[in-house]
Amino acid sequence: MEKIKIALVEDSKLLLARLAEGFSLYDSFKVVGKYSNGKSIINSLEKSNHENMPDIILMDIEMPKKNGIEATLEIKEKYPDIDIMMLTVFEDDVKIFASIQAGASGYMLKDEPFESILNAVHELYNGGAPISQSIARKVLSLIKSNLDEDKNNSSIHPELVLSERELELLNGLVNGGSYTTIANDLFLSPHTVKTHIKNIYKKLHVHTRAAAVRAWLGKL
């Protein structure tokens, strides 16, 4: 029986090594490529022959050079037969939805046990669309609400849109400001700043400043 050929795209060397190690323990898989960003796998695919062309790509969403969503878009356009499963640490509505639109077939959280990822890859290879249990509900409701109201413009769920004011606050966060400094910049009470930031966190589905900055700077 043919081995399932896997390519890994993941900027964390640690996780990349762990995944490669994990798959190497199973006879049914063969890791045909390891990459740390979207650019490098795209370059590599262009030089690949049938022998080392992956069946399935495990793709990190957040990466330098070219992020997972951009890479997925490009790869699915040129190699529609490759199935792509996104790996992420975030349960970010926008990214989940963008990944699906970009052509990803699966969506797993990085902190799932390796066995779950393994199962997901099998499922994917057999035509399934594996999704981490914890985000399945979210995706369903996203798709549903997106079908329901096609009258809106941006294909992004309205609840996720940050208001103008919130963007200004977020900018303050990105600039590394504290409640107090942001408050001074915007002529607001620190309490207000805090309220806005709490709301931003809810919309971006993060719980810390660092994650908010990351979510924002790494956005589409």
Partner DNA sequence: TTCAAATTGCCCCAACTGGGGTATTGATAT
Partner DNA sequence: ATATCAATACCCCAGTTGGGGCAATTTGAA
Residue 207 makes contact with DNA by CB under 7 A:
yes
Residue 175 makes contact with DNA by CB under 7 A:
no
CB atoms within 10 A of CB 121: 25
Contacts of 3 (CB under 8 A, 6+ apart): 27, 28, 29, 30
Name the DSSP class of 80.
T
Residue type, 198: K
CB 71 within 8 A of CB 41: yes
Residue 209 makes contact with its own copies by CB under 8 A:
yes
Residue 208 makes contact with DNA by CB under 7 A:
yes
Q: Which is nearer to DNA, 78 or 207 (CB)?
A: 207
Q: Residues touching its own copies: how many (CB under 8 A)? A: 27
Shortest spacing between CB 184 and its own copies, in angstroms: 9
Q: According to CB under 7 A, which one of 155, 163, 219, 220 is a site residue for DNA?
A: 163
Shortest spacing between CB 142 and its own copies, in angstroms: 21
Q: Which is nearer to DNA, 115 or 187 (CB)?
A: 187
CB atoms within 10 A of CB 29: 20
State the DSSP H helix or E strand holding residue 83, giving kind and residue range, or none if neither.
strand 83-88
Residue type, 41: I
Residue 145 makes contact with DNA by CB under 7 A:
no
**84 phi and psi angles, rounded to 5 deg:** -120, 130
Token digits of residue 137: 């509900």
CB 69 within 8 A of CB 100: no
Partner that binds at residue 35, options DNA, its own copies, none, CB closer than 5 to 8 Å by kind: none
Binding residues for DNA, rule: CB under 7 A, are 163-166, 178-180, 186, 188-192, 194-199, 201, 207-209
Binding site for its own copies (CB under 8 A): 11-14, 62, 89-90, 168, 171, 173-176, 178, 185-186, 206-214, 217-218
